[in-house]
Amino acid sequence: MLFDDSPASSLTGIARLAARSSVLEAKSQVRYFEIETRSVLNRTRLGMPFRWTINPYRGCEFACKYCYARYTHEFMGIEDVALFEDQIYAKSNLAPILRQELRKTDPREAIAIGTATDPYQPAERRFRRTRSVLEVFASGYGRRISITTKSDLVTRDVELLTKIAAANSLSVNITITTLDRDLARLLEPRAPRPDLRLRAVRTLADAGIRVGVFPNPILPLITDSERRLDLLARAARDSGASHFGGGLLFLMPAARRVFFPFLAERFPHLLKRYEDRYTRNAYLRGEYAESIVARVRSIRVRHGLDNGPLEHIPAGFEPEQPALFEIR
């Protein structure tokens, strides 16, 4: 057993909850746990495009080599960054806690679902924690909600999403780093194929849901070429996306511990360049970074796509009178 029922007395906070978690299921590689939920809405720092985030899971089975969120397992006292993708925690009891929290929050503040783990990773098929969150939003109105995912499983909830969109401002962002299946398999070994994600864009757009494509993260010298990004934006537009926007890879120390060995194995000719640029700073700045921003902007304009989802005010409430969230 990786965990037993008696947490070490030295553990506190989320690490203590993680140690208490009971196994939901174990596949050959991946183990699922249930973790007690203390709060559903997490406040972001100022300057972010959303005020609150919701992540129904901890850890993410998609196992992207560049994943920025691996450090979040460290909060639970798990230092092996590889376990981020093999030890998945489904949060318990989300809906009642979320209802309580929403009563105390300003409905004008934007809520982003899926910022640190994918809300439609394989665990969702069984444990439906993201769906339980969406059901809360479907029972209210006047919220600003976005969902970001790499998974076509989002289309399972198309009816629910349509219901939410009718009474809230909702946008869905599908992340597609590349259309190249083989490259995607290397970079995101357990995520759905790019063509399945594009098909999800089409399904959502056809249902009248505002959907965009994010080529995030743009990987220097791997996915950053004009040609690759242009093909992706064109495919996004042709699938009904309304917006397209992306940012460059950033690499925190926990992410570097996985990404650099991956480069050494698969892109050895790039390793030194990445090490030189990312070892001291997680973010790239300067001429190259600016050129990528300009490239994405010009591609977006070329294909008639927006920078982000346009604010959609559903019928039934006035924008100057912020609606109150109401649980029916």
Contacting range for ligand SF4; rule: CB under 6 A; set: 58-66, 203-211, 275-283, 317-325: 58-66
SS3 306: strand
Site string for ligand SF4, 218-257 (x = CB under 6 A): ----------------------------------------
Contacts of 325 (CB under 8 A, 6+ apart): 102, 103, 105, 107, 140, 141, 142, 143
Sheet holding 42-43, edge to edge: 42-43, 52-54, 111-113, 144-149, 169-175, 210-214, 243-244
Q: Give the nearer residue to ligand SF4 in terms of CB position, either 143 or 197.
A: 197
Residue given tokens 């083989």 in the structure block: 182
**CB distance 193 to 238 below 8 Å:** no
Half-sphere exposure of 73 (CA within 13 A, CB side): 22
Quick one: 136 or 249, whose CB is closer to ligand SF4?
Answer: 249
Residue number with CB closer to ligand SF4 (187 or 323): 187
Nearer to ligand SF4, 197 or 300 (CB): 197
Q: What are residue 302's phi and psi, to 5 degrees?
A: -55, -35
We find the least distance from the C-beta atom of residue 99 to ligand SF4, in angstroms, to be 26
Q: Between residues 157 and 188, which has the closer beta carbon with respect to ligand SF4? A: 188
Asked if 60 interacts with ligand SF4 (CB under 6 A), we say yes
For the chain, give percent helix, strand, coil, nearest 5.
Answer: 40, 15, 45
Segment 259-318, which members bind ligand SF4 (CB under 6 A)? none
Between CA 56 and CA 151 the distance in angstroms is 15
For ligand SF4, the binding residues in 162-221 under the rule CB under 6 A are 188
Single out the residue of 322, 251, 198, 303 nearest to residue 71, CA to CA. Answer: 251
35, 41, 67, 218: which one binds ligand SF4 (CB under 6 A) = 67
Residue of the chain from 150, 197, 243, 300 that contacts ligand SF4 (CB under 6 A): 150
Closest separation in Å from C-beta 90 to ligand SF4: 14
In angstroms, the CA 161 to CA 21 distance is 30
Is residue 118 part of the contact set for ligand SF4 (CB under 6 A)? Answer: yes
Q: Which stretch binds ligand SF4 (CB under 6 A): 17-25, 59-67, 261-269, 270-278?
A: 59-67
Q: From the list 30, 69, 153, 236, which residue makes contact with ligand SF4 (rule: CB under 6 A)?
A: 69
Residues 41, 103 contacting (CB under 8 angstroms):
no
Asked if 129 touches ligand SF4 (CB under 6 A), the answer is no
Binding region for ligand SF4 (CB under 6 A) out of 27-35, 55-63, 87-95, 320-328: 55-63
Calpha distance 283→298 (Å, rounded): 22
Given the complex with ligand SF4, which of 254 and 323 has the nearer CB atom?
254
Tokens of 258: 């996985």
Interface residues with ligand SF4 (CB under 6 A) are 60, 62-64, 67, 69, 117-118, 150, 188
